[in-house]
Structure 1
Amino acid sequence: MFEIPRTIFSEEHDMFRQSIREFVKKEVSPNNAQWEKDKQVSRASWSKLGQNGFLCLQAPSEYGGMAIDDFRFNAIFTEELGLSGCAGPTIGYSLHSDIVFPYLLHYGTEAVKKKYIPKMISGENIGAIAMTEPGAGSDLQNIKAKAIDKGDHYEISGTKTFITNGYLCDVVVVAAKTDLSLGAKGISLFLLDASMEGFAKGKPFEKVGLHAQDTCELFFEEVKVPKENLLGKEGEGFSYLMKELAQERLIVALAALALAEFMLQSTVEYVKGREAFGRTISEFQNTRFKLAEMAAKVEQARIYCDQLVLLHNDKKVDSAMASAAKYMMTELQCEVADECVQLHGGYGYMWEYPVARAYADARVQRIYAGTNEIMKELIARKVLK
């Protein structure tokens, strides 16, 4: 679809893209409909991802990883999944490798790294991150989950909700208050194992979209967590979250753009074959103009995101930049979804058509990883600095 060459990628990147594309075509796309019915991706698919070396690309070799210090590979992974239109797997796989894993790598003790990273690489352990609570969404400073220092361990209690990969997770990064009186400065991060006593999972939610993505509540009732499972330092959790959220939001932006491109391409194919009043829908001026508008926006967005990927490779993407990307790309995804459904007519509202599922999947993108209203606030802070 794009006429402008994507010069940020080398031949090695192109080879990796082709391997991901073939994997998605063989292992993801044919199974997505069943996963939507199951409300979760199969564990077998996670194992196959691990066997192919597609998980936790930055993991050091001493833990069995590929030690790939190049975010462009991560971007390709997320993009190719999104281009398949399989939004649930796109979000779940990327969250595991690009959002959860970095907390272990950057802040985990050596004992935690040795115990859990190899299993995250292989797909044996599926990762999740638990920040949001029933009474605290984007307002992380107001979380109520608490972690009490018991001398030789911490005791964690609380409830987390809307947890992506929650039902399947084996390990989860949990934000909890080690000091309830200090607000953001009282937040610490812990790595919990789903086998720990007092850790329970709710049933997968009945969501409007992302049906193949397991999302649920997590419950912690006096869970005993070893001291070594504290990630980083006590009271530094909020600063760690703010630092790592930049990559999380960039990943959401990349997924949103790829899924928008998938919808646009699906619609182009549809209007070329659908006839009305004796000619194809693609011959009507309104259709042509709508497609032109979307194509121009998507192409510009791709160039913008490619530049951000390069900047992130050099660790130059700050919170405001990532927030702008997340805000813009998810808004664009929803705009494209709406226009593409309209161009499909009544068929666009039928679940059997990919654009209908993509429409349902798109809406939540403007909510999680920080609502787009919060994104605007973070952008404004930099603008008014």
Structure 2
Amino acid sequence: MSNTRIYLDHSATTYTKPQVFEEMLPYLNTYFGNPSSIYEMSRVTENAIDHAREQVAKALNANKDEIYFTGGGSEADNWALKGIAFANKHRGNHIITTKIEHHAILHTCEFLEKNGFEVTYLPVDSDGFINPDELRQAITDKTLLVSVMFANNEIGTIEPIQEIGNICREKKVLFHTDAVQAVGHIAIDVKAMNIDLLTLAAHKFYGPKGVGALYIRRGVKIDSLIHGGGQERGKRAGTENIAGIVGLGKALELATEEMETENDRLVYLRNKLIKGLSCIPYSKLNGPSGAKRMPGNVNICFEFIEGESMLLLLDSKGISASSGSACTSGSLDPSHVLLAIGLPHEIAHGSLRLTLGSATTEEDIDYVLKVLPGIVQRLRDMSPLWKKHLQEQGAMKKYAI
């Protein structure tokens, strides 16, 4: 086992920055009063939540009263879809999403289908983009909601959100985007982009785990998520996670301030990593290149090997990586995203996702480029598929004219 530790799974989660932890700490051991009480300590915690709401609203160009805190991104996704569907079922029963959404969206859609709703799953092209014209054609007079993720968590595709928002506004259909991967990393303006609902999660931009938010545009009719109290303006009952909410606000404020310079740095490192890995024979970059890809995302398939074995060998060299979404890491099935962009099962099984972050250095990238080619070759040397391929190549050369 290597003494080196390089973390390249920032799409799964990030560490909590020291400045964020320091901001949270007083609300764990000093200002711990319940915000719903009326004494001074509670007014301090209520004001802290109010300040965090302002920080989130500023980052999204939203209004403060349009921000609702949740227990994370998956909870916010569930609330957005179920809340809109059941509150507006008198108007229709049709929802549109895509085949490459996070399972928090896909599984919620499956639940809604069992409860009388119809769902259209839009296809994507080989880089993971939906076709806005296909979206326009899919909208009917029964369509209540369109839900398209802002940026894909596996292959880094940044969808044409502005165009999607314009279509939905023109068709008078609500538009939700799961922006868990995008918030804190891409500039977002919910008003200019005609976004009606937006999901975010603190632990994707160096905040604490277990806290997120749902932006709900003023005037949108949505069912309450949890009943039992007046918190979050009666929409989500339960005593607030004060420290977590404070941490979310601070983390997003920092991420927004550092976004431009940090993205320039990550794009440089990302491109260097992609260029170096492309030298490995029978490798394929998944997702788009350039500005339409998340700054820190690299997703590559290596033919003739199994992704899980590659991850174990990388871990033995001190490199933490993944083959796709952390929420499906226990599954033996290939990524639904890679299958949706047209990869066959045998190639999709050999995927590797390396996602860079604030602690990633150029020395880290150099180390990966030094170690990974040998790992790929070692696994291929043990692979019957690789041996079969070499035999076929030898036969082709033998009979070539």
Q: When the two structures are superposed, what TM-score results if normalisation uses the length of structure 2?
A: 0.23
